[in-house]
Chain A
Amino acid sequence: MKKLSDLMPELGKVLAHDFERFEITRMGILVEYARVFDRLLDVLASPYPAEEEAAKAIEEYIASRQKPCGEWKSPDWLAYSLKQVVEEARKPKAKKPLVEDELPF
């Protein structure tokens, strides 16, 4: 699995490509990516480990951009996914039942 440091340059390239491709909505694109980066800061600031899941979401986003454009994911999707990652990490994990609880006596 790729690390965030490997994925960030690729994400940067997708951003540059979007600026190139969507000439009339460049500021809008910048706003959307700014939101993504804000969410990414939340991931890094999260006291619960979330970087691995965040890397997966970014990887999925980048991979979608290599498919036909009907299957592209939007920066909004990525921002939302990163937010979910932080929220999921915050949830208390279900505890494994103790061995004692499983015993019939």
Chain B
Amino acid sequence: MEKFENLLPELGRIFAYDLERFKDDWFDVLYNYMAVFDKLFYIVGVENPDLEKRVVEVVKEFIASRQKPYEEWKHYTWLSHELRQVMGEELNRTYDKLRGYVSLLVRRIAEDGRSMGYFRSFYDIVADYSLIMDYLMAIFSHPDIDIVSEAEEALESFIQGKESREGLKYRLGRIVDQFQ
């Protein structure tokens, strides 16, 4: 598979060309390309080969269009939109997984809630779940399959009662530490 690093020189040339051609609108050009670059960083960071492959295809399609007659050119906004689309799809797939767990997790919160104020302080329980939710959002926003499945495992054992709330918090925290 072609690495997208190899596409950077050509992308850089097109960027320079667009800045020249749309000189009066240079801020719009810069802004859109910055969005493109941001997405490239993200993709490198998560090391998901499927995602990288799709991104390479999009960037190649953009570059190829620029070698055709002007009428067939793809605009730089097409590139930034298309990359956003690819990443969005990937993120939605992981959010879908999370959706299934949320109702189970809420049931556990409700159970814990019964002992709130009697055996455990309200603050402790709410603070724990708030942290757990933050961790879950961070993990499930991350398109790295291994990281997500590690979190799924931890959630699974918590829901089955094999893992305590503190244990879940700790395990998720460890996962988040890997990439933050």
Question: Taking beta carbons and an 8 Å cutoff, which residues of A are in contact with B?
Answer: 4-6, 8-9, 11-13, 15-20, 26-27, 30-31, 33-34, 37-38, 40-41, 44
Contacts and interface: CB of A to CB of B under 8 A. Distances in A.
Contact of A30 (B18, B27, B37): B37
A13 B24 contact: no
Interface stretch (B7-15, B63-71, B129-137, B158-166): B7-15
B41 A44 contact: no
A95 B143 CA distance: 55
Given A8-B30, A26-B5, A27-B5, A34 B19 contact: no
B40 A12 contact: no
9 contacts: A5-B26, A6-B23, A9-B16, A13-B16, A16-B15, A18-B12, A20-B9, A34-B41, A37-B34
Secondary structure of the B contact surface, majority rule? helix
Give the bracket for the number of chain B residues in contact with chain A: 20 to 34
Contacts of A30: 8, 37, 40-41
A16 B23 CA distance: 17
Given A16-B13, A19-B9, A34-B38, 13 more contacts: A8-B26, A9-B17, A13-B16, A15-B12, A17-B12, A19-B8, A19-B11, A30-B8, A30-B40, A31-B41, A33-B37, A34-B34, A37-B34
Contact of B20 (A12, A17, A26, A27): A12
